[in-house]
Structure 1
Amino acid sequence: MNKIISLDESVLKALDFFAKNPPPTFNIDKFDLPFVVGSGNAYNTGLILLSEKGAIFADESNFKEQIASFGKVIQSKLMKQAVIISASGGKDSVWEIELAKKYKLHTSLLTTKKESDAAKIADEVYVFKSIDEPYTYNVSTYMGMILSKTKENPSKIKDYINSLKFPDNFDNYISYSFVVSDKYMHICPMLDIKKSELFGPNLQLRAFSQGHARHAKFVIRSSNELVISLGVKNEYFGDPNHRWDIEFPFELDYAGVMAVTYYIVGKIQNSKPQYFKENIGNYVVDYGPKAYGKSSPFDLIVPGSK
């Protein structure tokens, strides 16, 4: 358990790495109405990268249905591409590429593992560098992909993170909610996934865009909940005495917002019982791989790709 770092430390290590190893440019202009397929935060990374391209987004649960429903569109050649995003290049990404190729779509894989099973069968492979990280964290894996589009300055982001002033009673809350500007809305499901991975049913962590927050997400106010707003002024959501407004001194894009929010989640992780660290060891050797029909364990610390 001691070798498993917390999420906030993983964020800082990733920013240091990308300051020295900038990701290659990912040119979204070459894609036109593609399928974009990924699991978990790979799916959300796809939204960040390609939502402006009129793409069709799918995941491991609905890709078979989605691609079949667009069969006539594919036959008419209006849709010719599929972008599969998978940090590991394994698990569901393999059959997703096989299915896309069955429909004669050109397949592009975004991954950190150039020797993976998915990389061996994709028509085109974009390989991104990453660092060693605990299983499921996927900080550097997806941050590198996002930076390849946004071209933000990792050192500047880190300096900003280190300047954050946390509320004195930050550790005492049992519920935390993020409210972000609408332009950062795709970060919200990423935080929801981190809640499930790190805390399971043991702590409440919510995240909403400003627009979504208006739709009755804060009917119930509580002094046990800290509402954290990023880049927007919070005048309405949560108990007025338990709000933390975080101003951005410069324009952040998605990599910066991911880094800031993940860092804060890591600080929440540090302040609570170590649910993730106490359970991930059993998960990677037992019920995690078994859910995929595998007997071999997952890596507790996933090796980076440098």
Structure 2
Amino acid sequence: MATDPGGSREQASRTLGDLQEVVPLRWTLVAPAALLLAFVTLLPILYLGYLSATDFNVLRGMTEGVVGIQNYTSAVLESNEFHNALGNTAVFIAVVVTVQTVLGFLLALLLWGRPKRRKYVLPVLLTPMFVSWVAVGLMFRFMFEDGIGIVPLLLSQVGVNISWFSDPTYALVAIMIADIWEWTPFMLILFLAGLESLPEEPHEAARVDGASRLEVIKDVTLPMMFPVIAVAVFIRIVEASKVFPKVLAMTEGGPGSATETGSWIVYKIGFRFNDLGVAASQAVSLTLMVLGLLYVFYWSGGLQKDVF
């Protein structure tokens, strides 16, 4: 029995058109990837939330099972150790993000509009981005190590003797220096890309009006760069809150608890003390705190209108 190919195509076209009226084509195309992303993202989050409400231990399993908010009370609200780690994390974020933002912007200004200089200097400045986190930690561990490190050796030549990993204050500073070295190039590349995309007309108008270079940067460049700076700071706050490899490689949280951070506490409780239930509650709390900080940053700076 012969069929009419033209009629079949017309019917298929009508069917597809009816389907698109119900479900737009863009959602049909995005749905598979969105479902997969939701599965691989939400499942671990839900499981983490479940673990945080249990007394699960790797060695003994569950004894009481679901304990509700007990972990949040004992290991988060009443834990001085966790509070100390949060304080260290906050100080770390504030210092490294501020320094990286300032240094990155200054370096970007030096390379802005200078293609010959950028051609040779930029690859060197971006090198730290390609070194693994653990390798950075080990490298700076050897650089600051008493007796063999180049930093104590150079400082001793001018009469400054610092035991970097024995002094609680300087141990955290050493980790900050390592992080600043590694992540400043990230800020540099974002700021440089932003500067190169700025229109030249406002800068020329300001110079014609007699503004100095510093005044042009302050009154013209910085306001136009605000969205780029905000996004860069936003990303770095998230990444800095997860500092872990450098702590592991350089100090392991010591001396004492001077360099323990939120991520390190979660690792120590979960994988050294095997209390996954307690560690999960701290991980959930840390995540919610970072999200809260980002929420405040997002709304207080007007980023919802200027950036996103």
Same-fold status (TM-score > 0.5) = no
For the pair shown, which has the larger CA radius of gyration, 1 or 2?
2
More helix as a share of residues: 2
- The TM-score, its normalising length taken from structure 1, stands at 0.23
Structure having the higher strand fraction is 1
